[in-house]
Amino acid sequence: MRINPLSSKSTSTKFSQKARSSVRSSSRRRISRAFLAGLIAATGVISTGGCRQLDKLPDGPHDKTASYHDNYGMRIEYPQVAECATSPKLAAQGATEPLALEDPSKIPAYELSLEQAIQLSIQQSPVLRSIGGAIVTAPQSVSTVYDPGTVAASVNQGTEAALSAFDAQYTQQLFWNNVDQPTNRQSFTIPGTGGGPPLVFAGFSQSQNATFTNELAKQTATGARFALRHAIQYGRTQDPSAAQLLFPSVYSGFLEAEWRQPLLQGSGTTFNRIAGPSTVPGVYNGVLIARINEDVSLADFEASVIQLAADVEQAYWDLAAAYRILDANIKGREAAQQTFQFQQVRLEVGSGRSDEEAQARSQFYQFQAQVESSLGGTTGLYALEQRLRYLIGMTASDGRLIRPSTDPTDARVVFDWESALGQALDRRVEVRRQRFNVKRLELECVAAKLNLRPRLDFLAQYRWRGLGDDLIGTGDKNFDNLYQSITDGNYQEGQAGIELSFPVGLRLASLAVREARLGLQRERAILDETELRISHDLSDAARQISLTYQLLETNYNRYQADLRQVDVLRRRYRDGNDNINFLLQAQRQVVSSESEFYRSLFAYNLAIRDIHRQKGSLLAYNQVQLSEGPWAAGAAADAYTTGRFLEPRRDPSAVSVPTPLTSGPFDPAAVQSTNAVINGSSTGELLLSESTETSLQVANEPEPETPQSNDAPVVVEPFLKKTSIDMDEAFKVSP
């Protein structure tokens, strides 16, 4: 067989090129695998070495440059604000050195009644103070007189903010536009010279345009939206192909009226008063919700005022008790001192015993320590006096010593349980606040159910169009100016129809309904539990008022018995018929019983305060009334002007109106009881008077002649008549 050498060579050449290509491809794959393995190994080294490997990297130029942030960004600075010379600031700056163990009889007294203390606490500062308040550590939790106004002026919670969604909205736009661009169209051709190619010129488009649009739109409480639009377009073109145009520059435009009325979702005043114009399920920011927000803020403010009145009375009676306890300890110290001195004389003349003298000396120093603790201790006279000073807005110390001048109540006060319980469940601010929360969720349930519908809107538009060479003119030719063309009404358009849109399944709206229902059940459960808790608290307060009065009688009888015991043992000891231990023990007992008597006396007054607080009449009991602050300038005149155009309905039943949000005004400081029955006959007025004024202020308004129908009858039984004790002598404080 004969082989062609040329053919064999050609075959061999093709094979060698293919083999080399395969070798190069395998080599590239090996290099890629090696590079990938090295990259993985380097990553492992960095990850295992961590920051130690990165620390070995040299710093770049930017790492050696100081930053402005290092010295100024996190520097602690002192703010500069505008400050006014208010009463609290002056009181803070005018404090003198505090009292510790000074003799109270040598300090000028400042006689202060309970009514004056409450009045000062309300008038001195817009901040509502409280015992143990966190004004320094948590100022955001402190209540002030500005809180209700802040909610009313809030852009998210206030009524005015909710009403602003229905304000008329005006929008306007004005734009200029210049167009200068070539077009893919041959304009003209110039023959070439010297045998060259011809010169071809492309077409162009040049124009000046302007657009002016404005709109006035109004959202109504029924969900409808009305809009009035006006649009003007100006155009001037220099395109050679526009030779067919009527005017080289022209004004065109239209005047349009639109009415969009929801038929299902978003329709009706009920939905829009609750949810507002919002189309998002679960978002409720209507006027009624904003009104409830303001009412809740007023309830919170009222609760803070009640807490302030309770704290002031607590501090006032605690200070009065501190005076009595100090006086009891002073009398005990004086008695111990007399016994100690008498024992010293007996020891000097040789008729006494050294152990008895040591016992008398020890008891004297024991009472001396009690007197010092009663003066400067954490619950001593000066500490409690300073606490009352803070609540009424006075300086911490000013060289005077507050002395309570209001006598404590010692008459037996009996409240009718059924009436007091009814008042507590009706008048307590916590109940009213929670009922507002329930009302909010009830409204949200209504809105959520109304929102569980497709969006079906009726839309109607009507338009007047025009065209003109000028914008405004007086010519008589056709299309002389735009506004003449529009007002002639020759070109009118209109359309009407409906729009339907809804998410398939209405899942989000269904969730909003479920959320509102669960929230309503929760708030109702909380309301029921609140009423249950209030009934228990009122029961505790009623029990305490009976207990404290009984303890008052018992401790007074104990005090009188201990006084007689001391007199007897003192005579027996001085006659040498008894041991000194019995006398010293009797002296300690009389101080203890006197202190307990005064503690029970003021605990009884605080129990009276507590039952008024539990049944919602503490403000009236302390003669405090809440009132609205002054209106803005001109508001009264505007209200008077508006009222001249309003007329009362002659037949309200013939007018369909939405369900009212509340049942009417409520006065938390209304007088609940004015008469007293002493031993079955009305021989005097109730010692616990309840008359009224505030904004926060204390007023001296006359009491209404007719009490409320749910007033609690109060029976006052005098403690003096039952015990036949000279209380003036018992309350007398030694100088």
Residues in Cβ contact with 52 at an 8 Å cutoff, skipping those fewer than 6 apart? none
Reading the block at residue 403, the tokens are 């002395």
pLDDT tens digits for range 300-331: 999 999 999 999 999 999 999 999 999 999 99
Spatial distance between the Cα atoms of 287 and 272, rounded to a whole number of angstroms: 8
706 and 585: one domain? Answer: yes
Calculate the CA 434 to chain-centre distance. Answer: 15
User: What are the tokens at 191?
Assistant: 């023959």
Q: What is the pLDDT of residues 372-427, one digit of tens each?
A: 999 999 999 999 999 999 999 999 999 999 999 999 999 999 999 999 999 999 99
Res 371: pLDDT: 95
Q: Give the strand order in the sheet containing 714-717.
A: 412-415, 714-717, 677-678
Whether residue 623 lies inside any domain: the answer is: yes
Residues in Cβ contact with 483 at an 8 Å cutoff, skipping those fewer than 6 apart: 466, 468, 471, 472
Planar angle of CA 91, 92, 97, nearest 5 degrees: 100
119 or 78: which leads in pLDDT: 119
Higher pLDDT, 52 or 659: 659
pLDDT value, residue 53? 57
User: Do 469 and 539 reside in the same domain of the chain?
Assistant: no
> Which pLDDT value is given to residue 41?
55
Please say if the pLDDT value at position 52 is more than 70.
Answer: no
**Which residues sit opposite 625 in a β-bridge?**
697
Q: Pick the range with the lowest mean pLDDT from 239-248, 494-503, 549-558.
A: 239-248
Structure tokens at 231: 């649009």
Residue 386 counted as domain residue: yes
What's the confidence (pLDDT) of residue 730? Answer: 38
482 and 526, same domain (yes or no): no
Give the mean model confidence (pLDDT) for residues 34-63.
58
Shared domain for 299 and 244, answered yes or no, is no
Q: For 126-155, how does the pLDDT look when each residue is reduced to its tens digit (9 = 90+)?
A: 898 888 777 888 888 889 999 998 999 999
The answer to whether residue 55 sits within a structural domain is no
Residues 233 and 306 in one domain: no
Residues 469 and 576 both lie in one domain: no
| Interval 3-29 mean pLDDT | 43
Range of the domain at 232: 168-284+455-501
161 within a domain of the structure (yes/no)? no
What's the pLDDT at 25? 52
What is the pLDDT at residue 131?
83
Domain assignment of residue 119, yes or no: no
Is position 587 within any domain?
Answer: yes
Looking at the structure, do residues 240 and 331 belong to the same domain, yes or no?
A: no
Residue 674 clears pLDDT 60, i.e. is over it: no
Is 417 part of a structural domain of the chain?
Answer: yes
Q: What is the CATH number of the domain that holds 302?
A: 1.20.1600.10
| pLDDT at site 201 | 60
Of 501, 532, 555, the last residue of a domain is 501
Last residue within a domain, chosen from 466, 501, 536 = 501
Cα–Cα–Cα angle for 657, 663, 665, rounded to 5 degrees = 120
Band of pLDDT at residue 183, cut at 50, 70 and 90: confident
3-class SS of residue 681 = strand
Give 81's pLDDT tier (boundaries 50, 70, 90).
confident
Q: Is residue 272 very low, low, confident or very high in pLDDT (cuts 50, 70, 90)?
A: very high
Query: Structure pTM?
Result: 0.77
Considering the domain architecture, whether residues 303 and 278 belong to the same structural domain is answered as no
Task: Tell whether 424 and 345 lie within a shared domain.
Answer: yes
249 lies in some domain: yes
Which residue did the predictor score with more confidence, 614 or 74? 614
The number of folded domains in the chain is: 2
Give the span between the Cα atoms of 535 and 553, in whole angstroms: 28
pLDDT tens digits, residue range 86-125? 888 888 888 888 888 899 989 999 999 999 999 999 888 8
Q: Are 532 and 431 in the same domain?
A: yes
Q: Does the structure show a pLDDT above 70 at 5?
A: no
353 shares a domain with 376: yes
What is the predicted pLDDT for the residue at 700?
39
Of the residues 447, 467, 501, the one at which a domain ends: 501
Average of pLDDT values for 217-234? 95
Q: Are 677 and 715 in contact (CB under 8 A)?
A: yes
What does the pLDDT average to over 45-59? 57
Q: Give tens-digit pLDDT for 484-515.
A: 889 888 899 999 999 999 999 999 999 999 99
Mean pLDDT score across all residues of the chain: 81
CA distance linking residue 331 with residue 322, whole number of Å: 14
- pLDDT for the residue 715: 43
Same domain membership, residue 277 and residue 314: no
Q: What is the per-residue pLDDT across 542-552, written as a single tens digit (0 to 9) for each?
A: 999 999 999 99
